[in-house]
Amino acid sequence: MDQGQSDADRLDGRVILVTGAAEGIGRAVALGCAAAGATVVLSQSNESDLTDVYDQIEADGGPEPAILPLNPETATEDDFLAAANVLGDTFRRLDGLAHCASYAPFLSRIDDYDASEWDRVIRINLTTPFLLTQVCMPLLRASEDASVIFTSDRVGRQGLAYWGAYAAAKFGIEGLMQVLAAEMRENGKIRVNSIDPGVVRTALRARLYPGENALNNPLPETIAGVYVRLLGPAGRGTNGAALQAQDPA
């Protein structure tokens, strides 16, 4: 067991699906879950993008991970069902689902927002998390203690100018989290929450703030522990909460 890590922070024996696992927050969460003892299912559009994080988990001595290629922009309902069937055939259950994939192409006035790009942003940031969660519900119900985490954003809790479809999608994520958490409350075996990771050093942040010194921003690894704790025994009793990974400035 890792020194300094309590039993409540361990994920031994758990199967955790992490989307957006190739980079940024998703990669950090996947590595953190594996270090805590979980079998991590790594999901990204292209299988080749996951080679590095897969190899890192093995090099660190974590449980052998699995790879689930799934394109959040183009996957159909049948693709999501097929993915859930693969998970079911392989693991029989799912103990955690961490939605870490996010996409925002630019900052723009609503006046100027391209309609096709609006649809793309909503699809990746809201519709796909809904569809994946929906098909995984039977697997989550098969667990004795399951946790679903939606990655939110400050602009999904207080709208800001120029954030367009991304803000709208993240507001939708907060609503989806609250609805699903309410539906799961009587069951008691599945808890559903959202996390605002705050400002971290990711490719998405760099694209939207090209003039910013990225080295001033904390690495994704600094906030991954919040996800890991919420996915494990330490998160029991927390349901329907809109959490922050960093203390408000």
Active-site residue among 54, 103, 166, 227? 166
Decide if 113 is catalytic: no
Residue 159 amino acid letter:
G
Quick one: which of 49, 52, 51, 31 has its CA closest to 40?
31
CA separation for the pair 8, 12 (Å, rounded): 10
- Please identify every residue annotated as catalytic: 166
